[in-house]
Amino acid sequence: MTWINRLLRHREVERHLDKELRFHFDEMVNELCAKGATRAEALRVARLQFGGMEQVKEDCRDARGTRWVEDLGADLRYATRGLRKSPGFALVAVASLALGIGANTAVFSVLDYLMLQLLPGVQAPRELSALARDGGKEPDLRFSWPLYEKMRARLPAGTSAAAMTPMTTLNLAVGAAPESVRGQLVSGEYFQLFGVKPAVGRVFGPEDSKRLGGHPVAVISHGYWLRRFSGDASVVGRAVTINGAAMTIAGVAQEGFVGPHPGDNAEVWVPLQMQQELHYAQNANMNDADPKKPWPPQRGISWLMVFVRVPGGTSIQPLLDSCSAVLHADNELLGGLDSDPAWREEMRKQRVMAEPAGKGLSDMREAVSAPLSVLMITVGLVLLIACANIANLLLSRAASRRREFAVRLSIGAGRGRLIRQMLTESALLALLGGTAGLLAGVWLKDVLVRMAGSGQTTIGPGLEVPMNWHVLAFTALLCLGAGLLFGLAPALRSTRADLGTDLKSGSRTAGHEGGAHGRRWTLGKLLVVGQVAVCLVLLVGATLFALTLRNLSTVDPGFQREHVLTARIDPRTAGIPAERLPALYQELLRQVEAVPGVRTAALSLYSPLSGAARASGFYIPGLPAAPGESRVMQVNIATPGLFAAYGIQFVQGRGFTPADTEKAPLVAVINQAMAKKYFGGSAALGRQFQEGAATPPFTIVGVVRDVRMNDLREEVTPMAWFPLSQNPDEYLRSLDVRTAGDPEAMASTIRTVVNRAAPALPVRNVTALSRQFESALRQESFVARLTAVFAGIALLLACLGLYGVMAYAVSRRTAELGLRSALGATRGHVLWLVMRETLGMAVVGAVIGLGLTIASMRLAAKLLYGLSPEDPLTLACSALVLIATALFAGYLPARRASRVDPVVALRCE
């Protein structure tokens, strides 16, 4: 019989054992009878000889070698029975564990997806790196097409590369139904580099980036294929319009591959030689270039990211050296055109660096890594507090079972066996809590994903954080760790062989904890001190984040956020030619301003807090830059109504007027920061600056208050506005409307009006500016809300723990307290006696907590605004709140203690 068989047929095995021994016994009796003994005598002698039948059986069971599994079954049954007998305890324990484990699972699954997982659908993702230029002021990921081609021609053997633009929004129309999709312009090597095969049709190959404008083909993602084309294989060869250009779908990429930006999934890919046809014009560095001409042939436009693959076990250095050499040659060519020696020196220092890209590149990862880490730590600490609570509950349960354990130990139970039994109980709790936690985690995770995007890094539409084996393993480990954490100490503690005392003393005074003559700091109390300390860290954190949120929402952004409606328009991707723009803009403004309830309408490149921005270098005639100084201003182009629409106040001068025509002198409005830094503040009016060394100068006609365009936290940097009338061929992307009443109520009206005025123009994100403001603070409010919730839970758990320990201590000391009352102690005296203990634990916990807080808050400093991580007021208030709450939790048992009737207490003795 194999062991598994024996396990399954446990009853039969037991029956056989009994039968075998019974046979032996009967044979002995028979033999004795045969020798002439009476039956009674024979029975007596046989019993004497045989010894304890049960003991023999026990030894036989041990000899089977499957003992532990059998015991486990028994322990589980015992543990289940124990838990069922105290459903309150079981419920509290399982619920707090489920909460702790669930929260950890949820945060970890998002963290895992965004920060730890390798790119999906990509072959050997660890071999991938993204190239960057370093040595300049800040590394950037952009290369020109000629530079990329030269670098690719000199790649070391075995390595490969591909170039691509960052993820961009494209306007894809099948027939007459346009839709905004995410996509990339890519070089022909793109799919080869990632090792992506077609699911249907073909993907791009090197021949797809040969001729400028000559590749009107697109590849779509598997997910998009299913969603938009219902997985129809005849999609290959289908004609579509992308950003107004006629294209043909060449194929579908294999399932799972969504590009190199986790959280921002690509749905369509187009050859980058189609840049001009698609009107692609996003983040690029220009140097002696003409952005209106096709970009690929221009060496002065750096607009591409380059990914490389270096086979495992090979050094990437030769590739970097080769690329750096190419870059230097290129910079020499470019640098020869610039007279600034400091800039040339900087270019000479530039090297090509590599950033591991196996997990992809993600702006979102940057944006959410700090908040996610803070959350991970927070929920970890909450779980720790929950574990301490359960440990405390188990401790007091075990203490009341001390006598039982002492009896069992004294009649021969092994200590290891008892510990195993108690651990089984905690493992069962952990298992129940973990299972419930996993379910809670699956749900919480989706809540988290919905909340996690910040204003400027919204999580893409296709994002689903899957449960995977990482997460399951994490949860399983968590359960195991938690079970051991809260089970081990009580198990060791309560099985310590102190037989004499425990057996002799009655159950009432059996415990060493709680007795006045006992040790001052029991394990239970130490656990509470730890809880209080950790709780303080969470309280301080939550307070700091809440204050940060308050500071940020009361920041003066320089514009009035009420009564403004903004909408994103996109004449470029709609394929509207530049010469038709002025008429379009005029018609648009005329019709929108005619809507009742609209005060002012304006158009601009981008609205505040929208995530978009444009920057440019500038020169000041007669005021050359110091060596190494870079003069950069943020740029916006707008119609005259813009300042009124946003309520941006003028400090000096005027805004734009109809007189600022193309023929009139070029004008600009600058912000205070620029006026102060470069034009001596109030002397700025009438001064001039240039965009390039040889371009005509702008005259400053107005200075406005500083406006926070990108981010509420930022230091305001120099910024200039230029009139649309002097830049008529700009593709403006923001419609800005000041309304008399609630802007959101007008959203659909405005949308309809725009559609009527310009039927071909896509309109997106029609929202109130105040919404934009809120979503800019989404991440902060997300962190603030979650940490507040968790700090609240931690406080509650810590109070429960404190209450439990004190209530238990008081119940143990009933007799002593009664005696004190009998001897004349007043109620106040007894109350103070008990409260003193609570106060001691709270204060020691708070002091330790302050140390922990100061050590740990540095991690969170990056997320704070307008206050230091060691803000003394916050620290003091949090500590006081904590101590006060602790005292409240300790008051209830103390009051009970003070009301102990001496007669009752003494009669118990």
Partner 1 sequence: MQEPRKSDLLQGTLDMLILKIVQFGPIHGYGIAQRIQQISKEALQVQQGSLYPALHRLENKGLLASDWRASDSGREAKFYTLTPQGRHQLEAETAHWARMSEAVGLILRTVE
Comparing CB distances to partner 1, the nearer of 60 and 583 is: 60
State the binding string over 299-328 for partner 1 (x if CB under 8 A, else -): ------------------------------
Give the whole-angstrom CA distance, residue 233 versus residue 743: 45
What tokens were used for 331?
């910079």
Supply the minimum distance, in Å, between the C-beta of residue 72 and partner 1.
Answer: 18
Among 9, 39, 65, 291, binds partner 1 (CB under 8 A): 65
Q: Which stretch binds partner 1 (CB under 8 A): 37-45, 52-60, 327-335, 353-361?
A: 52-60
Among 40, 48, 51, 157, binds partner 1 (CB under 8 A): 51
What tokens were used for 596?
């009742």
Supply the minimum distance, in Å, between the C-beta of residue 38 and partner 1.
Answer: 20
Give the whole-angstrom CA distance, residue 450 versus residue 437: 20
What tokens were used for 127?
């071999």
Give the whole-angstrom CA distance, residue 842 versus residue 879: 9
Binding of partner 1 by 59 (CB under 8 A):
yes
What spatial distance separates the first Cα and last Cα of the chain, rounded to whole Å?
57
Comparing CB distances to partner 1, the nearer of 47 and 197 is: 47
Give the whole-angstrom CA distance, residue 471 versus residue 105: 7
Supply the minimum distance, in Å, between the C-beta of residue 56 and partner 1.
Answer: 5
Write the DSSP symbol of residue 457.
Answer: B
Binding to partner 1, residues 412-451 (CB under 8 A): 412, 414
Q: Are 645 and 601 in contact, with CB atoms under 8 Å apart?
A: yes
Among 18, 20, 332, 742, binds partner 1 (CB under 8 A): 20
Binding of partner 1 by 33 (CB under 8 A):
no
Comparing CB distances to partner 1, the nearer of 414 and 582 is: 414
Q: Which stretch binds partner 1 (CB under 8 A): 50-58, 220-228, 514-522, 563-571?
A: 50-58
Binding of partner 1 by 629 (CB under 8 A):
no
Which stretch of DSSP H or E encloses residue 372? Answer: helix 363-400
Supply the minimum distance, in Å, between the C-beta of residue 36 and partner 1.
Answer: 18
Supply the minimum distance, in Å, between the C-beta of residue 25 and partner 1.
Answer: 8
Supply the minimum distance, in Å, between the C-beta of residue 65 and partner 1.
Answer: 5
Supply the minimum distance, in Å, between the C-beta of residue 806 and partner 1.
Answer: 40
Supply the minimum distance, in Å, between the C-beta of residue 27 and partner 1.
Answer: 4
- Residue 232's contacts (CB-CB under 8 Å, 6 or more residues apart) are none
Binding of partner 1 by 16 (CB under 8 A):
yes
Supply the minimum distance, in Å, between the C-beta of residue 39 and partner 1.
Answer: 16
Q: Are 167 and 266 in contact, with CB atoms under 8 Å apart?
A: yes
Binding of partner 1 by 500 (CB under 8 A):
no
Tell me how many residues contact partner 1 (CB under 8 A): 25
Supply the minimum distance, in Å, between the C-beta of residue 420 and partner 1.
Answer: 15
Among 44, 47, 64, 365, binds partner 1 (CB under 8 A): 64
Give the whole-angstrom CA distance, residue 34 versus residue 866: 101
Binding of partner 1 by 39 (CB under 8 A):
no
Write the DSSP symbol of residue 263.
Answer: T
What's the angle, vertex CA 490, arms to CA 70 and CA 377, rounded to 5?
105
Cα–Cα distances in Å, from 748 out to 116, 676, 753, 772? 42, 42, 9, 17
State the binding string over 373-412 for partner 1 (x if CB under 8 A, else -): ---------------------------------------x
Binding of partner 1 by 26 (CB under 8 A):
yes
Binding of partner 1 by 480 (CB under 8 A):
no
- Residue 886's contacts (CB-CB under 8 Å, 6 or more residues apart) are 532, 798, 799, 802, 838, 839, 841, 842, 845
Binding of partner 1 by 55 (CB under 8 A):
yes
Comparing CB distances to partner 1, the nearer of 28 and 887 is: 28
**Pairing relation of β-strands 615-617 and 650-653?**
unpaired
Residue 855 phi/psi, 5° resolution? Answer: -70, -35
Comparing CB distances to partner 1, the nearer of 34 and 176 is: 34
Supply the minimum distance, in Å, between the C-beta of residue 83 and partner 1.
Answer: 29
Among 33, 37, 56, 484, binds partner 1 (CB under 8 A): 56
Among 50, 78, 731, 832, binds partner 1 (CB under 8 A): 50
What tokens were used for 490?
């009580």
Q: Which stretch binds partner 1 (CB under 8 A): 24-32, 123-131, 261-269, 468-476?
A: 24-32
Binding of partner 1 by 14 (CB under 8 A):
no
Q: Which stretch binds partner 1 (CB under 8 A): 60-68, 355-363, 728-736, 844-852?
A: 60-68
With residues binned 3-state (H G I as helix, E B as strand, rest as coil), the percentages for the chain, rounded to 5, are 55, 15, 30
Cα–Cα distances in Å, from 83 out to 76, 89, 97, 800? 10, 8, 15, 19
Binding to partner 1, residues 157-176 (CB under 8 A): none
Q: Are 159 and 309 in contact, with CB atoms under 8 Å apart?
A: yes
Q: Which stretch binds partner 1 (CB under 8 A): 21-29, 82-90, 221-229, 453-461?
A: 21-29
Supply the minimum distance, in Å, between the C-beta of residue 494 and partner 1.
Answer: 20
> Helix, strand, or coil here: 631?
coil
Q: Which stretch binds partner 1 (CB under 8 A): 62-70, 197-205, 278-286, 853-861?
A: 62-70
Listed in sequence order, the DSSP H helices in 401-414 are: 402-410
Supply the minimum distance, in Å, between the C-beta of residue 498 and partner 1.
Answer: 18
What tokens were used for 860?
């969170």
Binding of partner 1 by 63 (CB under 8 A):
yes
Q: 456: closest CA among 773, 182, 720, 769? A: 773
Supply the minimum distance, in Å, between the C-beta of residue 58 and partner 1.
Answer: 9
Give the whole-angstrom CA distance, residue 482 versus residue 383: 8
Q: Are 121 and 254 in contact, with CB atoms under 8 Å apart?
A: yes
Q: Are 686 and 702 in contact, with CB atoms under 8 Å apart?
A: no
Comparing CB distances to partner 1, the nearer of 31 and 290 is: 31
Comparing CB distances to partner 1, the nearer of 31 and 562 is: 31
Listed in sequence order, the DSSP H helices in 453-580 are: 469-494, 499-504, 523-553
Binding of partner 1 by 30 (CB under 8 A):
yes
Supply the minimum distance, in Å, between the C-beta of residue 160 and partner 1.
Answer: 58
Supply the minimum distance, in Å, between the C-beta of residue 75 and partner 1.
Answer: 18
Cα–Cα distances in Å, from 791 out to 113, 204, 375, 541? 25, 52, 11, 8
Binding of partner 1 by 521 (CB under 8 A):
no
Give the whole-angstrom CA distance, residue 39 versus residue 397: 51
Binding of partner 1 by 62 (CB under 8 A):
yes
Cα–Cα distances in Å, from 813 out to 481, 821, 839, 901? 34, 12, 18, 13
Give the count of beta carbons closer than 10 Å to the beta carbon of residue 851: 12
Binding of partner 1 by 291 (CB under 8 A):
no
Comparing CB distances to partner 1, the nearer of 27 and 901 is: 27
Comparing CB distances to partner 1, the nearer of 412 and 658 is: 412
Supply the minimum distance, in Å, between the C-beta of residue 6 and partner 1.
Answer: 9
Give the whole-angstrom CA distance, residue 881 versus residue 240: 63
Strand intervals (E) in 573-715: 598-604, 615-617, 632-638, 650-653, 667-671, 688-689, 698-704
Comparing CB distances to partner 1, the nearer of 409 and 684 is: 409
Give the whole-angstrom CA distance, residue 219 versus residue 198: 9
Q: 457: closest CA among 766, 735, 778, 221? A: 778
Comparing CB distances to partner 1, the nearer of 12 and 288 is: 12
**Site residues (CB under 8 A) for partner 1?**
3, 16, 19-21, 23-24, 26-28, 30, 49-52, 55-56, 59-60, 62-65, 412, 414
